[in-house]
Amino acid sequence: MLSIPDIAMKQPLYGVIFFLWFFYIITVITSGCAQIGVVSGGPQDTMPPLLIRATPDNKTVQFSGNKIVLNFNEYIDVQEIQANVIVSPYPKSFPAISNNLKTITIRLKDSLLPNTTYNINFGNAVKDINEGNIYKNLSYTFSTGKFIDSCELSGKVILAETGKTDSTLWALLYRNATDTDVRTKKPTYITKVKSDGTFHFKYLPSDRYKIYALKDGDGNKYYSSKAEVFAFYDNEIQIPSNAMGPVLYAYAEKKPSSNLPPVTEKKKEEKKLLYQTNLIAFKQELTDSLQITFNKPIQKLISDSIIITDTNYQKQIINNITIDSSRKVVSISKVWQPDQLLYLIISKKSVEDSNGISLSKSDTIRFTTKQIEEYGSLQLTFKNLDLTKKPILQFVQGETIKFRFPLTNNVWTNTLMTPGEFEIRILYDTNNNGVWDAGKYETKTQPERVISIPEKIAIKSDWTNEREIIL
């Protein structure tokens, strides 16, 4: 068998091809230019802009001008100035803020107060143009007096109804104020509440203050509507103070009303009286009433004409039959036995609407009660639970309170829990009316407090869960 070199020697044409191929391979191996790829531009810039000079200098005292210039090490952009920039003390007229290339120019419109420390915080407004890296909480401070005020105040705001926090709230600080100032005047100092509910005021003078929190629905920065989420602290605060930071509980005294006109849709009125039940797959919960919901309000209800029987048509004991305030939902309360086949019998004359229309016919619905194994068992042991405040245990999914149970002991057990994932809350129902009550600023009544447990609990059917909860 001939090798490639032998073939190249015997056949001139093959020899030429071989040497051209050999020369190409050597060239590719020995030359870096033979690689194909994209030229690297180096690592991505992740550094925010750097403030290299301020005119006048940051923390200047005896400030008397109205113009401030900030210079950066790279091209910057300033966005959403009104939403991000906070000026303290709160000005009557917001300063004019502009940027050009590597410079921010601030022109003050208000006359400055004597012997006062001012702070301008840019929040997340400043970032570089190329990569969008944010210069977080860029701050410029100056004083019209001989020194920079150095007092601080930190605290926290919690939504009273849910026990959670809200970063859209503002903390408001009023200096030497009356109780009515928060309704008619803008605050002396203002700062944003962070996502964890905390807030922090800096560069405060020593004095007495009233503190509030507000979700500013109309943008005027004071409490002008009972539909706004609002919080107040009971006592005036002396700064500086060694006291713990105040905790405020926010609430809305009234539900916000929509300014949009109601949508009126002309529907064809259903003449027949129709209904549906809350049975799912014809199964009845052991822990709930059986509900019958009608399409029109019921004027007349004959309770004796709605019965429940067993398979032998023996009438079962019903504790109560009630109708709700809408007069559309009839609830049948009964002690349900597990895994039982039953019949719901509704006579055609059992209900009538306002026009005297009754059901078109009597009806019989066959259903079964759930089995014990379809439920989970749960035991909760509470630490630091204040039983004197009438605590109510709430199981919440989304925005809906699915179940609520009054607590009379530090250990709570339920063997018939509906499976699912729930958030747990504790409502301190101080007036013992079974529901959460908002506060009222006029009478200095604080809202009822709800404690939210951070970790959700998953309840599985035919499964026992035990949890210790430290409040």
| pLDDT tens digits in sequence order for the chain, 471 residues long | 444 444 444 445 445 444 454 555 545 444 444 344 444 555 676 889 999 999 999 999 999 999 999 999 999 999 999 889 999 999 999 999 999 999 999 999 989 999 999 999 999 999 999 888 999 989 999 999 999 999 999 999 999 999 999 999 999 999 999 999 999 999 999 999 999 999 999 999 999 999 999 999 888 999 999 999 999 999 999 998 766 789 999 999 998 765 555 555 555 666 899 999 999 999 999 999 999 999 999 999 999 999 999 999 999 999 999 999 999 999 999 999 999 999 999 999 999 999 999 999 999 999 999 999 999 999 999 999 999 999 999 999 998 999 999 999 999 999 999 999 999 999 999 999 999 999 999 999 999 999 999 899 999 999 998 999 998
pLDDT at 28: 44
CA 279 → CA 290, 315, 359, 369, 419, distances in Å? 7, 20, 20, 10, 17
CA–CA gap between residue 74 and residue 47 (Å, rounded): 11
Closest CA to 423 of 469, 374, 464: 469
Q: Is the pTM of this model over 0.85?
A: no
Determine the distance from the C-alpha atom of residue 154 to the mean position of all C-alpha atoms in its chain, rounded to a whole number.
Answer: 22
Is residue 359 within 8 Å of 345, Cβ to Cβ?
no
Residue 259: its pLDDT value, please?
57
Tell me yes or no: is domain 374-470 CATH 2.60.40.1120. yes
pLDDT of residue 4: 45
- Residue 60, amino acid: T
Cα distance between residue 154 and residue 246, in whole Å:
7
Please count the other Cβ atoms lying within 10 Å of the Cβ belonging to residue 21: 10
Q: CATH 2.60.40.3710 occupies which residues in the chain? A: 275-370
Sequence-ordered strand ranges (E) for 261-325 = 275-277, 283-284, 290-294, 298-301, 306-309, 320-323
How far CA 332 is from CA of 60, 218, 292, 314, 470, in Å, comes to 75, 46, 8, 17, 38
Does residue 169 contact residue 457 with C-beta atoms inside 8 Å?
A: no
Distance CA 431, CA 230 (A): 21
CATH of 51-143, picked from 2.60.40.1220, 3.40.50.300, 3.50.50.60, 3.40.50.10470, is 2.60.40.1220
> Using an 8 Å Cβ cutoff, are 49 and 126 in contact?
yes
Burial of 356 (0-12, 13-18, 19+ CB in 10 A): exposed
**What 3-state DSSP class applies to 343?**
strand
Tell me which fold the domain 151-250 belongs to: Immunoglobulin-like (2.60.40)
Q: Enumerate the CATH 2.60.40.1120 domain ranges in the chain, comma separated.
A: 374-470
Could you tell me where in the chain the CATH 2.60.40.10 domains are found?
151-250
- Tell me the two tokens of residue 71: 């210079």
Would you identify the CATH topology of the domain 275-370? Immunoglobulin-like (2.60.40)
The token pair that represents 270 in the structure block: 């259903």
Decide the pairing of beta strands 139-143 and 170-175. unpaired
In angstroms, the CA 133 to CA 102 distance is: 14
Residue 41: its pLDDT value, please? 53
Kindly report, as residue ranges, where domains of CATH 2.60.40.1220 are found in the chain. 51-143
